[in-house]
Amino acid sequence: MPDLQPAPDLARRASHPYPNDSPAYREARTRLLAEEIELRRQIERVAAMRRALPLGGEPPAYRFRDEQGRTVGLADLFGPHDTLITYFWMYGPQRERPCPMCTSLLGSLDIPARDLAQRVSLAVIGRSPVERQLAFARERGWRNLRFFATVGDDFARDYRGLADDGEEWPALDVWVRRAGKVHHFWAGEMAGTADPGQDARGAPDLAPLWTLLDLTPGGRGADWYPRLDYPAD
């Protein structure tokens, strides 16, 4: 990594007052800017470590059903790419409606799914039949996400989307194909690691909802979560 200029020096040079900033505000904002620069560097260090991971294990021969009703394997989800991102969402057959937080995240991915498809494949996996998943997707106006249904629960259990007590959890996994073989590459493993007073979250957080709220004075709130529907204004 090249020599980096000290973050406080960069912050002082980059910090310019907006109209009527007080000296106290600008001083505090410059200190925060230095921390934001350090955070950006830490994010890149973590991303570099992630990219350098060795190949993970080869998954068992899981089966899925696609939108045409065909039974396919995990390798079939890659399409033309050698990298696949899967998101297992909490929409099992026992649920009347999907998880609101899964819905919020998938809603934020539907439009950029076309951009992602230029570099990687993206697949949404659920335990409900594909037809049920698609019906909800169309209700939300999603047009670009690809949905698959698990055949049996082995995939969900093995990759931490289904607990022994039947409770579902969201799970994002990255897979790679090398020399004709599929390998697990990365998964979010931060469940159970939250610091005191925090809800579970990733680093960086994948959901724009939380990232934007983190920029505001009120933050995420102590007990607020997205809903599937809101009363009309």
Query: What does the DSSP 8-state code read for residue 90?
Result: S
Q: Where in the chain is the domain with CATH 3.40.30.10?
A: 63-187
Tokens at residue 210, please? 């939380």
Euclidean distance between CA atoms 129 and 67, whole angstroms: 9
What pLDDT score does 199 carry? 83
Strands in 74-220 per DSSP E? 83-88, 121-126, 147-150, 171-178, 181-187
Does the predicted TM-score (pTM) go above 0.85? yes
Euclidean distance between CA atoms 157 and 167, whole angstroms: 10
11-64, pLDDT tens digit by residue?
999 999 999 999 999 999 999 999 999 999 999 999 999 999 999 999 999 999
Residue 233 above 60 pLDDT?
A: no
Euclidean distance between CA atoms 90 and 113, whole angstroms: 19
At 38 the three-state DSSP class reads helix
Q: Which residue has the tokens 């009309």?
A: 232
127-181, pLDDT tens digit by residue?
999 999 999 999 999 999 999 999 999 999 999 999 999 999 999 999 999 999 9
Class of 63-187 in CATH: alpha beta
